[in-house]
C-alpha cells in the first residue's frame, strides 16, 4: 500500500508541474548538444571520374527541433549565416602539382540583430534535412589534371558570442554549435 501512495504523490507532482508549465507558457530547457547536426556530401554529375557539382546536406540527428540558417555562404561571402567550405586534396598521377585547396576568405560586415536573424532560420524537426546544391564553378575548383581528387565539406556555424548563445538558450532555441566535417570521398581521373 505504501507504493500506491508514493505513486499517487509522484503522479500528482508531475501533473502539477505540467499544469504550471502550460499555465505560464514556460519553455522547456534546450539540451546543449553539439551533436545535433550531421553533415553529408553527395556528388552530382560525375564526368571523367570527377563530380561537376555537389549537394551539401545538414541533417538534424537530435530528438528535438534545431534551428539553422537556411542559406549558409558557399566558401566566400558574408558568413553571419554560417558557411560551407568544400575542401579538395589533389594528388597528381603524373608527378605534377599536388596539394589541398579551399576557396577564398570572407569577412563580416554590418549584421542584423540576432533575434531578427533567427526569425529567418529554418526549423529542422528531428530527422529533417537542409540540402544545398553547388556547381564546380560556384565552388571554384579545377579538375583538368589526372589524379586523385579527395573531397570533403566543412560547415562553420554562424559566429555567436557567449551572450548571443545564452540568449538563444533562454528563448528555447537549439542551434548549430560546432564546426562539422563530412566524410571524405575520393575520385580518380585517369590520364
Per-residue pLDDT of the chain (191 residues; tens, 9 = 90+): 444 444 343 333 343 333 333 333 333 334 444 579 999 999 999 999 999 999 999 999 999 999 999 888 886 655 778 899 999 999 998 876 666 666 543 444 556 777 888 888 999 999 999 999 999 988 888 898 999 999 999 999 988 889 999 999 999 999 988 899 999 999 999 98
What does the radius of gyration of the chain's CA atoms come to, in whole angstroms?
Answer: 23
For residue 76, give every residue at least 6 positions away whose Cβ sits within 8 Å of its Cβ, in sequence order, or none.
103, 104, 105, 106
On whether the 33-189 domain is CATH 2.40.160, my answer is no
d(CA 182, CA 66): 19
Question: Cell 565539406 belongs to which residue?
Answer: 153
Q: Where are the domains of the chain?
A: 33-189
Amino acid at each position: 500500500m505504501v507504493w500506491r501512495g508514493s505513486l499517487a504523490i509522484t503522479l500528482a507532482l508531475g501533473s502539477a508541474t505540467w499544469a504550471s508549465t502550460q499555465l505560464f507558457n514556460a519553455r522547456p530547457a534546450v539540451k546543449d548538444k553539439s551533436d545535433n547536426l550531421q553533415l553529408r556530401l553527395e556528388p552530382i554529375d560525375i564526368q571523367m571520374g570527377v563530380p561537376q557539382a555537389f549537394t551539401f546536406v545538414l541533417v538534424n540527428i537530435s530528438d528535438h527541433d534545431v534551428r539553422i540558417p537556411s542559406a549558409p555562404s558557399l566558401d566566400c561571402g558574408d558568413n553571419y549565416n554560417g558557411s560551407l567550405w568544400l575542401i579538395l586534396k589533389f594528388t597528381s598521377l603524373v608527378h605534377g602539382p599536388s596539394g589541398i585547396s579551399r576557396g577564398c576568405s570572407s569577412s563580416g560586415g554590418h549584421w542584423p540583430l540576432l533575434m531578427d536573424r533567427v526569425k529567418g532560420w529554418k526549423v529542422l524537426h528531428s530527422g529533417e534535412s537542409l540540402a544545398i546544391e553547388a556547381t564546380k564553378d560556384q565552388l571554384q575548383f579545377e579538375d583538368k589534371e589526372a589524379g586523385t581528387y579527395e573531397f570533403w565539406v566543412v560547415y562553420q556555424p554562424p559566429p555567436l558570442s557567449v551572450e548571443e548563445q545564452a540568449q538563444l538558450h533562454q528563448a528555447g532555441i537549439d542551434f548549430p554549435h560546432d564546426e562539422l566535417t563530412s566524410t571524405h570521398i575520393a575520385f580518380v581521373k585517369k590520364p
